[in-house]
Amino acid sequence: MKFSALVERVRGAGAAAWRTHYEAVAARERGEDVLILSVGDPDLETPAAVVERAIRQLRSGDTHYLPAAGRDALRAAIARAHARRSGQPVAAENVVYLAGAQNALFVTSLCLAGPGDEVVTFEPLYPTYPATIEVSGARLVRAPATAACRPDVAALGALIGPRTRAILWASPNNPSGVVLNEQELDVIAGLARRHDLWLIADEVYAGLAPGGRVPSLGATLPERMVTLGSLSKSHAMTGWRAGWLVGPRELALHAEHVAMCMLFGLPGFIQDAAIAALELADEAEARIREYCSARQALFARGIAGIAALRPLLPEAGMFMLIDVSGTGLTGAEFVRALYAAQRVSVMDGAAFGAATAHCVRVCFATDDGTIERACARLRSFCEAYLG
């Protein structure tokens, strides 16, 4: 039987990068001694007030259909949070609540680009970006990174052509932890004006940046800016699937139509819990920033002195890239050899683009004991391998 071309576009080349991770998860479920540092799921509980709000709403019968764009009170709360973070004046009508930021990017892609169009983004990039953008029929064009894993904005202009529809970036970046600065955003803004482009900013990790905010073009170019956000990382709510997009009213209307035919609304008890989460955002974000800062420092100390490893310290977030070229291995080879020898799961840097193929990505948002054991195993692995 035949399938549409869509199945190839959504499969994505990045899917293979999760092979070791899923092997490790299966091994852990069998009770085996594995350490998983390959996924960004913070080892924290969802705030109790959020859980209690969801339970209360469930018991009160909040389990029926709701508007496709989300409950008005939630959309208004998201708008207020976005305005505080970015300085962009928005209202509930600019917001569409969706099943996580990944879903929000999927909907944005369908609304802004189509067959023959191009969307430009920067390496390194999250592995699902290509499939999520190319589901629309558009092509993802990758801009290079500098040696420090910053976006090479000087190279960006040459990649923009008559088919370009948008520029996409994540700040803080996953996997590098880089936060785009005002000068880099000024270059992007100039290109957007010159070429009449949409701008898509994935700010899922913004609450983990210093002070809980990142430089934004929302107030500068509100008519062409789409911002993606969620509660997954900031509130340890990865499984709740609570995310959104913020953009011009006309885009929000189109996104609502997509949400209507794809989701037909999302659970009310989770939406009300999301309101509770936004009410305590300052506290929750301060908690995750402190948590990640302490564990980043612990991990960096744990691998200090391993000559074959060169950590690339992030500005924000819960990940660290490690240059493993000193071992003589590629990122992919290092991942497989480390897991085989020490049962530690990390991510291949090549999953995020050619610029980081010599690296692996480690998530340090886990408990101290896991970090300490993982660092000891990394040290043992490098000593044994190089020896």
Q: How far apart are CA 130 and CA 12, in angstroms?
A: 7
Q: Domains of the chain (ranges plus CATH)?
A: 6-45+283-381 (3.90.1150.10), 48-280 (3.40.640.10)
pLDDT, tens digit, for every residue of 102-160?
999 999 999 999 999 999 999 999 999 999 999 999 999 999 998 888 999 999 999 99
Q: Is the pLDDT at 12 greater than 80, yes or no? A: no
Tell me the pLDDT tens digit for each residue of 262-308. 999 999 999 999 999 999 999 999 999 999 999 999 999 999 999 89
240 closest CA partner among 248, 231, 249: 231
Residues 6+ apart with CB under 8 A from 292: 42, 208, 317, 318, 364, 365
pTM here is 0.94
